[in-house]
Amino acid sequence: MAAVATLVLLRHGRTTANAQGGLAGRRPVELDETGREQAQTVGSRLSRVPWAQVVSSPLVRCRQTVELALPGVNPVLEERLVECGYGEWEGRPLGELAKEPLWRVVQEHPSAVVFPGGEAMAAVAARSVAAVRHWDGVVEAERGADAFWLACTHGDVIKAIVADALGLHLDMFQRIVADPASVTVIRYTPTRPFLLRLNDTGTDLAALVPAKQGHARRADATDSDAPVGGGTGVSGDKGALR
């Protein structure tokens, strides 16, 4: 089975809205001081990976995160990775929103949610999954099977993409966590995706990258069959960069 490209999802760093307990939505909120530090910190890990492509939500907090994490990189702006359109909820405090009847639906049955004056959660999931699967195919076709690519986007978008990768119903996506400046890694194969990292805020991403010469990729990372018994993991790949 041929190798396949690898997607690294990056959530933007903490914003002024996050710090104040508000729902930013598509408002042009920027990273706060902590968020800028988070972006620079994750950049020290991201810089060790040879990126074939970098794409980003067009919102300023994502663009700032990429700029700080990977200076000199100009991401392709992908509208389908933009934050959910929360409509009338945008800009309001989360504590206030938690008193709305729709809040419980968001928590327990998000596939049924349509935000007033905004977007349906099911539509967010559909467009974001379509976007990453499209770009994954483009990167693999243009840059080869061992290519790594980065998508910087938002918490609910990442959770929806992960739910799809795990074969979960969208109503389960609230069980997934995507912290500011965390990375989540997915490798799509012809028959199923593999979730390699989730909400990762500290491990060495270079360990995922195969050596360029002299070593074959791990079978459990390149084909569509899951290794019985769990496989050797990244640490078992002596050809990985350290």
- Please write the tens of the pLDDT for every residue from 57-69: 999 999 999 999 9
The whole-number pLDDT of residue 226 equals 53
CATH assignment at residue 93? 3.40.50.1240
**Using CA atoms, how far apart are residues 192 and 81, in angstroms rounded to an integer?**
22
Q: Is residue 87 one of the residues assigned to a domain?
A: yes
Residue 68 CA to its chain's centroid (Å): 17
DSSP secondary structure letters along 69-112: HSTT--PEE-GGGSPP--GGGTTSBHHHHTTSHHHHHHHH-GGG
Q: Is residue 165 one of the residues assigned to a domain?
A: yes
Tell me the per-residue pLDDT of 91-150, one tens digit each, with 9 for 90 and over: 999 999 999 999 999 999 999 999 999 999 999 999 999 999 999 999 999 999 889 999
- The confidence band for 222, taking pLDDT boundaries of 50, 70 and 90, is very low
Q: What domain range is 113 assigned to?
A: 6-236
Q: Is residue 1 one of the residues assigned to a domain?
A: no
Total number of domains in the chain: 1
Give me the mean pLDDT over the 17-41 stretch.
96
Q: Is residue 77 one of the residues assigned to a domain?
A: yes
Q: Is residue 242 one of the residues assigned to a domain?
A: no
Mean pLDDT of the chain: 89
Query: Does the pTM of the predicted model rise above 0.85?
Result: yes
Q: Is residue 42 one of the residues assigned to a domain?
A: yes
- The confidence band for 210, taking pLDDT boundaries of 50, 70 and 90, is confident
Question: Torsions phi, psi of 66, nearest 5?
Answer: -65, -40
The whole-number pLDDT of residue 63 equals 98
The whole-number pLDDT of residue 211 equals 67
